[in-house]
Chain A
Amino acid sequence: MTPFLDLTDLEIAYPPRRVIQDVSLRLECAGIGCLLGPSGCGKTTLLRAIAGFEPLQRGSIRLEGVELSRPGWTLPPERRRIGLMFQDLALFPHLTLADNVAFGLRGWKPAERRARVHELLRLVGLDDEAQRYPHQISGGQQQRVALARALAPRPRLLLLDEPFSSLDVTLREDLAREIRAILLREGIGGLLVSHDQFEAFAFADEIGVLREGRLLQWDTAYNLYHQPANRFVADFIGQGVLLPGRIEEGGRVSTELGEIDGLSPVNCAPGDAVEILVRPDDVIHDDASPLSAEVVERAFRGAEFLYTLKLPSGARLLCLAPSHHNHALGQRIGIRLDIDHRVMFRQENG
């Protein structure tokens, strides 16, 4: 089956700097994806290339099997039927909300156009505000208008360039979920660019982590968290520490906290020094455990505490404990490890 969106081997450069290199990814049948990465990693450039604003130096971009970009040739954005929602929204200040939404509906019959504008404004709950101007409505409402405007011409794919970053956190995740539902209902693919992993988790089926122009991993949120492909992803997604250990006979790993079992994803021989990713939820607070560690930092998070613990060797661990386990700094608490997915990296020298 032809993938919905297919990027192969992309390279984008602002000579002499290569902004994107060797990026390949596939989004299956109108799914919803996200490009996640720290600022300056090239995610917005990648998005703009998909929209048709950036020419490619290498590789190709295909949507539903049709080539949109290749080196030396770029189908202009206005002919791609790809919608785009901007970080700054870019609502046209000289047009009413209705006219903003109708902007992309050139060539439609007036009656159909009116109906579509009406339908979308109702969809985003702004039907009564149709004749107002963008500066007369709130930030969240502007966000909805931008969404309605992008969806009106029935794009095949909607690109979202950090469109929620100006909203407060709760509103942000709500809106992300809301847009996700709309896209799924309308059968439109979505690709979000974000630096916020929770936004990405709430929005996307598949997430790609970008760093310095390279795609490090393209996977589901669950796998990114539990099976990061490398240290950067492990560090960037979620919290956790790397605990030093040594490979024993039979593939088990001995650490300060005992032996840990499981399949080894890296190619190691017994005796090799490795590091194991320990997430805060892998460390269980258990007073009956023979192992204990000293509380050096604590952060109250309502339902739980996030403790930073110091092991006798000086190594640190993060531990997520239910909120009623209230321990003071300096206290020693019992812990045990409960690791479902063992993620291991070869120890870096120095």
Chain B
Amino acid sequence: MRGVWARTDRWSLLVVGVALLLALPVLTVFVTALQPAGAVWRHLADTVLTDYVGNSVLLMLGVGAGALLIGVPAAWLTSLHEFPGRRWLEWALLLPMAIPAYIIAYTYTGLLDFAGPVQTLLRAGFHWTRQDYGFPEIRSLPGAVVMLALVLYPYVYLLARAAFLDQSVAVLEVSRTLGAGPWRRFYAVSLPMARPALIAGVSLVQMEALADYGTVQYFGVGTFTTGIFRVWYGMNDSTAAAQLAALLLLFVFALLVFERWSRRRARFHHAGNRQYRPARLSFAGRWGWLATVACLVPLLFGFLIPAGQLTVWAWRTAPHVVDGRFLALLANSLLLALGAALLILLLALLLGYGQRLRPRPLVRWAVRSAGLGYAAPGTVVAIGVMLPFAALDRSVDAWARQWFGVSTGLLLSGTLAALLFAYCARFLPVALHSVEAGLSRIRPSMDDAARALGSTPRGVLWRVHVPMLRGSLLTAVLLVFVDVLKELPATLILRPFNFNTLAVRAYELASDERLADSAPFALAIVLAGIGPVILLSRAIGRARPGYDAVP
């Protein structure tokens, strides 16, 4: 008879092994970056590095400020007040999340450039010619800030909204008895109490802004991500690329630490008792409509206009774009995303369950390190996958040539395996988060009951947890599916030759200034992206007073 310990070690080993494998890309980037700086790096440092750092920091600060300016008032209005349309604005304000930043950038470029409808209309309306007016150039750093803020503000909105709803009624009521009007209650009470949540939201937004590649590349703004591409492809220096990537990662980790820290502080700000909630304050008449308009603006610019423009373009170009090749590409993309999502789900289940089975420090640390990839921008993960895979290919090739006189060429790099691995490293934490949340709601006595009835640990997973987790697992698959579908930079770097996805094709066509032709591809991505938004909006609906959080 084998005892429980032999079995345990197998589980821990498997979990730790898988987790470390998934942490490999990020670790690779750091290890490679530790190599002495080469000529390219010195050249970078002398020339463009300051630009990269400067632009990245400006982008980060700008997008953070923009997301705050849009997200906080919207959250304050919809969570504490009543006005026409509040019910549907509450979730509709999340819709911009469905649009990847690079797609909104293409759309607005098409709308606002010289030949676009806006300028054309202005010229026709005022009988201007090119020399008669100045028009702000959208393809610039400020343009990129606006684009990113428009699609990223929902992070701030979501967290701010939760914070406002959670705030102690008593504190707000006391401030009313002390004579504070709505405006003062907002900036002197609500806002300071929500500060940890706002910092967390802004940190998330800034992480996304740093990770963006498509927008800044299209707008020609030199940042870390575009720099990594240039060094990798233009200068062919993997070490310098890894060094840039490591520097970017340091920025991201700083944000991550900041975010964690602010969340920890949130506990002290949380003012318990939410037994009852005051009725929402009603805005009367004109003020109500003003609130409606205020909430409509971000929705309009963040979703309705770009989605509308995409639809118009797609309507026009679909007849010649949507053909057999389009459908093949669509199937390609969907299958890849689905395959990646299922694979990631399996790994997340393995890690989540392994952690539950043996909550040892070693296992916990390994699983945490597997989560590093989420903080890492796609560009960084791609570099971290490319380097070890290429090294492995080279050594296998050398070995085969030496012993068998044949060249194996590239076995792994440039294959779907490399791409899938990158997706796993990047998006595993999304699935793991869902799985862990679901598992934590299953009481440990369920596991014990099943074990006492003769199930092995693996049996418990399949017979008890998976069926009970169905909802969480579906959520995880959907979230990862859409993330993979939208993913651009890692796919660009790692995709096999002549292998295309919706995101890549939309990017290629837009880069060729064939914006209208790219619309059907972009629209397909946006439609898929609405799925997670619906999930989130349902969560919002459930969190309404009077509804219990679903167990």
Instruction: Tell me the A residues contacting B by CB distance below 8 Å.
Output: 48, 51-53, 55, 72-84, 86-90, 92-95, 103-104, 106, 149-150, 152-153, 159
Give Cα A253 to B246, complex, Å: 85
B5 within 8 A of partner (CB): yes
B453 within 8 A of partner (CB): yes
> Considering residues A55, A73, A90, which has the most beta carbons from chain B within 10 angstroms of its beta carbon?
A90
Q: Is the CB of B455 within 8 A of A78?
A: yes
Q: Is the CB of B446 within 8 A of A53?
A: no
What mask results when residues 432 to 455 of chain B are scored 1 for a CB within 8 Å of chain A, else 0?
A: 000000000001011011111111
Q: Is the CB of A51 within 8 A of B468?
A: no
Give Cα A50 to B303, complex, Å: 61
Q: Is the CB of B443 within 8 A of A103?
A: no
Given contacts A90-B446, A92-B446, A93-B468, contact A84 B452 (CB under 8 A): yes
What are 27 A-B pairs with beta-carbon distances under 8 A?
Answer: A48-B448, A51-B448, A55-B4, A72-B3, A74-B5, A75-B3, A76-B3, A78-B456, A84-B449, A84-B452, A88-B443, A88-B445, A90-B443, A90-B448, A92-B449, A92-B450, A92-B464, A94-B470, A103-B453, A103-B455, A103-B463, A104-B453, A106-B455, A149-B453, A150-B452, A153-B453, A159-B452
Q: Is the CB of B464 within 8 A of A78?
A: no
> Considering residues A74, A78, A150, A153, which has the most beta carbons from chain B within 10 angstroms of its beta carbon?
A78
> Considering residues A48, A53, A92, which has the most beta carbons from chain B within 10 angstroms of its beta carbon?
A92
Closest 8 CB pairs of A and B: A104-B453, A90-B445, A84-B452, A77-B451, A90-B449, A73-B3, A86-B445, A94-B467
9 new A-B contacts at CB < 8 Å, known A90-B446, A106-B459? A52-B451, A55-B4, A74-B3, A77-B451, A78-B455, A94-B468, A103-B463, A104-B454, A159-B452
Q: Is the CB of A53 within 8 A of B453?
A: no
Provide the residues of chain B in CB contact with A83, threshold 8 Å: 452-453
Provide the residues of chain A in CB contact with B464, threshold 8 Å: 92
Q: Is the CB of A78 within 8 A of B451?
A: yes
B320 within 8 A of partner (CB): no
Provide the residues of chain B in CB contact with A89, threshold 8 Å: 445
* CB contact list, B48-92 vs A, under 8 A: none
Instruction: Tell me the B residues contacting A by CB distance below 8 Å.
Output: 1, 3-5, 7, 443, 445-446, 448-456, 459, 463-464, 467-468, 470
Provide the residues of chain B in CB contact with A150, threshold 8 Å: 452-453
- Name the prevailing secondary structure of the A interface residues: loop
Provide the residues of chain A in CB contact with B468, threshold 8 Å: 92-94
**Whose C-beta in chain A lies nearest to the C-beta of B453?**
A104
Q: Is the CB of A86 within 8 A of B449?
A: yes
Give Cα A82 to B463, complex, Å: 20
**Whose C-beta in chain B lies nearest to the C-beta of A86?**
B445
Provide the residues of chain A in CB contact with B3, threshold 8 Å: 72-76
Given contacts A84-B449, A103-B453, contact A76 B443 (CB under 8 A): no
**Pick the contact of B454 from A78, A86, A90, A95 — CB < 8 Å?**
A78
A226 to chain B, nearest CB (A): 36
Given contacts A88-B443, A92-B464, contact A75 B1 (CB under 8 A): yes
Give Cα A55 to B3, complex, Å: 11
A120 to chain B, nearest CB (A): 13
B277 to chain A, nearest CB (A): 28
Q: How many A-B residue pairs have CB under 8 A?
A: 83
A133 to chain B, nearest CB (A): 12
Give Cα A321 to B115, complex, Å: 104
Q: Is the CB of B452 within 8 A of A77?
A: yes
Q: Is the CB of B4 within 8 A of A76?
A: yes
Give Cα A95 to B468, complex, Å: 9
Q: Is the CB of B451 within 8 A of A74?
A: no
B465 to chain A, nearest CB (A): 10
Provide the residues of chain A in CB contact with B446, threshold 8 Å: 90, 92
Give Cα A86 to B452, complex, Å: 11
Provide the residues of chain A in CB contact with B448, threshold 8 Å: 48, 51, 53, 77, 84, 86, 90
> Considering residues B446, B450, B452, which has the most beta carbons from chain A within 10 angstroms of its beta carbon?
B452
Provide the residues of chain A in CB contact with B452, threshold 8 Å: 51, 77-78, 80, 82-84, 150, 159
Q: Is the CB of B453 within 8 A of A76?
A: no
Give Cα A86 to B449, complex, Å: 8
B12 to chain A, nearest CB (A): 15
**Pick the contact of B451 from A72, A76, A88, A159 — CB < 8 Å?**
A76
**Whose C-beta in chain A lies nearest to the C-beta of B449?**
A90
A84 to chain B, nearest CB (A): 4
**Whose C-beta in chain A lies nearest to the C-beta of B455?**
A78
B456 to chain A, nearest CB (A): 6
Q: Is the CB of B5 within 8 A of A72?
A: yes
Give Cα A94 to B470, complex, Å: 10
**Whose C-beta in chain A lies nearest to the C-beta of B1?**
A75
B7 to chain A, nearest CB (A): 7
> Considering residues A77, A94, A106, which has the most beta carbons from chain B within 10 angstroms of its beta carbon?
A77
Q: Is the CB of A76 within 8 A of B7?
A: yes
Give Cα A84 to B449, complex, Å: 7
A51 to chain B, nearest CB (A): 6
Give Cα A81 to B453, complex, Å: 8
Provide the residues of chain B in CB contact with A48, threshold 8 Å: 448
Provide the residues of chain B in CB contact with A104, threshold 8 Å: 453-454
B551 to chain A, nearest CB (A): 9
Provide the residues of chain B in CB contact with A75, threshold 8 Å: 1, 3-4
Q: Is the CB of B449 within 8 A of A153?
A: no
B103 to chain A, nearest CB (A): 40
Give Cα A150 to B4, complex, Å: 22
Provide the residues of chain A in CB contact with B463, threshold 8 Å: 103
Give Cα A52 to B457, complex, Å: 13
**Whose C-beta in chain A lies nearest to the C-beta of B468?**
A94
Give Cα A94 to B441, complex, Å: 14
**Whose C-beta in chain A lies nearest to the C-beta of B551?**
A93
A78 to chain B, nearest CB (A): 5
Q: Is the CB of A74 within 8 A of B453?
A: no
Provide the residues of chain A in CB contact with B470, threshold 8 Å: 94
A147 to chain B, nearest CB (A): 12
Provide the residues of chain B in CB contact with A80, threshold 8 Å: 452
A80 to chain B, nearest CB (A): 8
B260 to chain A, nearest CB (A): 28
Q: Is the CB of B450 within 8 A of A103?
A: yes
Provide the residues of chain B in CB contact with A53, threshold 8 Å: 448, 451
A1 to chain B, nearest CB (A): 25
A199 to chain B, nearest CB (A): 20
B350 to chain A, nearest CB (A): 20
A246 to chain B, nearest CB (A): 53
> Considering residues B443, B451, B470, which has the most beta carbons from chain A within 10 angstroms of its beta carbon?
B451
A157 to chain B, nearest CB (A): 11
Give Cα A52 to B452, complex, Å: 9
Provide the residues of chain A in CB contact with B467, threshold 8 Å: 94-95
Give Cα A94 to B446, complex, Å: 12
A158 to chain B, nearest CB (A): 10
Provide the residues of chain A in CB contact with B4, threshold 8 Å: 52, 55, 73-76
Give Cα A77 to B450, complex, Å: 9
A312 to chain B, nearest CB (A): 53
Provide the residues of chain B in CB contact with A106, threshold 8 Å: 454-455, 459
